[in-house]
């Protein structure tokens, strides 16, 4: 009986996977290409996104829901970021050194309704490598281990990236706040 | 302040902002069809995706099997429930069958008609189990009584001694006739035409039996594949052709045969030889 249930489930998931591929592959390619500006690299990003998706199909409830579309967009963007990183590893290292010195994490203080518009503009400007971590964590409520599995990094590294993302956003809000005040 | 999903109010707000920003970003993405018109995936991509499809099916299956084999109390409880319900149903079915079996046996011995008790009891038990004891739907008696029949070898098959009664080709208002358009190796269909010339409807058994004359009597030739028959009503003034496919039998064309069916409890049939049938057909064709 267990085996029978397992087969049924796997068949359902295979169908779901096929539907996702048929329905969203061009959309995902477009999203990746916006970031990469390279048709073939964008195809690689799509392929890697689908590969990661095979392990996380249970996160997809309704193939055609807007939430699923957003989830796929996040996955393919994170894969595009990965591909860019692989192409320019030295830039990441420089960025890493530059960002390590910084202030304490007081982001929570800035996450208020009064700062809503400021937050919107900061998130839109925030680098995708950070933004996708936030999306995985806050929109899809994935654990560090799950995010790490999709991104192909350890849970610890996810946590490091997450705190870097918080600091980056905090800095951006501070800057943006100053700009608003001056204006 | 922590919310129900473990997020603080600030984090909830951040989640809302992220969602809004992503929606705004995606609002610039053209529809799938439009993108598809402008871009065709490379063969390399298609190949790689095919590999992922192949791998994913095995991966998904493996993952699911692992997951389902992990202890899950809900699944275990569901399985136990299913087994208990099935077991209960099975128990009551068996119990009912045994009851019917016993009562039928008692009745049979009381009436003193238990000559073939073992067969009848079995049939009774089966009927009770299936709830199909109506006489109307019962098959003709000859089918259930066949086990004790005398047998002979014919064309490499065992044939069973049939009822030796004279089988008339006419019963008051019912006539039977065997015919076939052309009988050869390629056309093996034979027709038993049953006609109702009377004013009342009657019922006949749809599965005709082919019998062969072997020295001392008529023997029933068993079908290669047993089919289920049924009682069919033939209305007054109507005739019907029952098809008999000789390819389903092992036969020798030189012997004498008869096709037999049941009309109510009466046997009705038509004798024939292949030679006669063939000559008749030829004559008809010449006319």
B59/A54 touch (CB, cutoff 8 Å), yes or no: yes
CATH 1.20.1250 fits B150-286, yes or no: no
Per-residue three-class SS string for B79-98? HHHHHHHHHHHHHHHHHHHH
Model confidence pLDDT, tens digit, residues A10-59: 677 888 888 999 899 999 999 999 999 999 999 999 999 998 988 888 88
Residue of A nearest to B31 (CA): A27
Residues of chain A with CATH 1.10.10.10: 89-183
CA distances from A37 to A76, A89, A126, B22, B160 (A): 14, 18, 19, 19, 85
**What ipTM, to 2 d.p.?**
0.84
Higher pLDDT, A88 or B70: A88
Question: CA A92 to CA A98: how far, in whole Å?
Answer: 10
Parse chain B into domains and list their residue ranges: 9-69, 73-133, 150-286
Task: Supply the CATH classification number for the domain A89-183.
Answer: 1.10.10.10
Model confidence pLDDT, tens digit, residues A60-112: 889 999 999 999 999 999 999 999 888 776 555 445 544 555 566 677 777 88
Residues of chain A with CATH 1.10.1740.10: 1-87
* Residue A25, pLDDT score: 92
Query: Do B17 and A116 meet the contact criterion of CB atoms below 8 Å apart?
Result: yes
* Residue A32, pLDDT score: 95
| Alpha-carbon gap: A2 to the closest alpha carbon of chain B (Å) | 6
Domain A1-87 architecture:
Orthogonal Bundle (1.10)
Contacts of A133 in chain B (CB under 8 A): none
Contacts of B14 in chain A (CB under 8 A): 111, 119, 134, 138
**First-to-last CA distance in chain B?**
105
| Alpha-carbon gap: B150 to the closest alpha carbon of chain A (Å) | 48
Size of interface A-B (CB pairs under 8 A): 131
């Amino acid at each position: 009986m267990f085996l029978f249930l397992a087969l049924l489930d796997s068949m359902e998931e295979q169908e779901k996977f096929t539907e996702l591929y048929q329905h969203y592959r061009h959309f995902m390619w477009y999203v990746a290409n916006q970031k990469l500006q390279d048709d073939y690299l964008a195809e690689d990003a799509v392929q890697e996104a689908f590969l990661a998706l095979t392990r996380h199909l249970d996160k997809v409830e309704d193939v055609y829901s807007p939430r699923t579309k957003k989830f796929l967009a996040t996955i393919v963007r994170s894969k595009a970021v990965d591909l860019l990183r692989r192409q320019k590893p030295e830039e990441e290292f420089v960025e890493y050194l530059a960002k390590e010195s910084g202030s304490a994490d007081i982001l929570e203080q800035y996450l208020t309704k009064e700062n809503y518009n400021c937050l919107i503009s900061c998130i839109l400007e925030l680098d995708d490598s950070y933004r996708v971590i936030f999306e995985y964590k806050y929109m899809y409520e994935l654990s560090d281990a799950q995010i790490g599995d999709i991104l192909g990094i350890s849970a610890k590294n996810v946590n490091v990236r997450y705190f870097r993302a918080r600091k980056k956003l905090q800095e951006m809000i501070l800057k943006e706040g100053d700009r608003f005040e001056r204006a | 302040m922590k919310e129900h999903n473990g997020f603080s109010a600030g984090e909830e707000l951040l989640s809302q902002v992220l969602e809004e920003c992503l929606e705004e970003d995606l609002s610039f993405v053209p529809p799938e069809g439009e993108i598809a018109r402008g871009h065709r995936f490379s063969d390399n991509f298609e190949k790689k995706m095919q590999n992922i499809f192949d791998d994913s099916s095995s991966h998904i299956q493996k993952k699911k099997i692992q997951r389902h084999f992990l202890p899950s109390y809900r699944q275990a409880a569901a399985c136990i429930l299913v087994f208990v319900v099935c077991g209960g149903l099975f128990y009551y079915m068996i119990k009912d069958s045994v009851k019917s079996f016993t009562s039928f046996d008692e009745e049979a011995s009381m009436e003193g008609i238990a000559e073939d008790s073992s067969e009848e009891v079995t049939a009774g038990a089966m009927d009770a189990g299936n709830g199909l004891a109506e006489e109307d739907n019962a098959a003709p008696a000859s089918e259930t009584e066949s086990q004790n029949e005398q047998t002979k070898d014919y064309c490499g098959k065992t044939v069973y001694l049939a009822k030796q009664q004279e089988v008339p080709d006419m019963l008051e208002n019912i006539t039977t006739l065997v015919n076939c358009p052309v009988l050869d190796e390629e056309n093996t269909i034979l027709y038993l035409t049953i006609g109702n010339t009377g004013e009342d409807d009657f019922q006949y058994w749809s599965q005709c039996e082919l019998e062969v004359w072997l020295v001392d009597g008529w023997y029933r030739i068993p079908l290669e594949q047993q089919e289920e028959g049924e009682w069919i009503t033939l209305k007054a003034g109507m005739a019907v052709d029952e098809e008999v496919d000789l390819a389903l039998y092992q036969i020798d064309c030189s012997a004498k045969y008869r096709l037999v069916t049941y009309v109510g409890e009466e046997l009705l049939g038509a004798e024939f030889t292949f030679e006669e049938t063939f000559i008749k057909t030829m004559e008809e064709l010449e006319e």
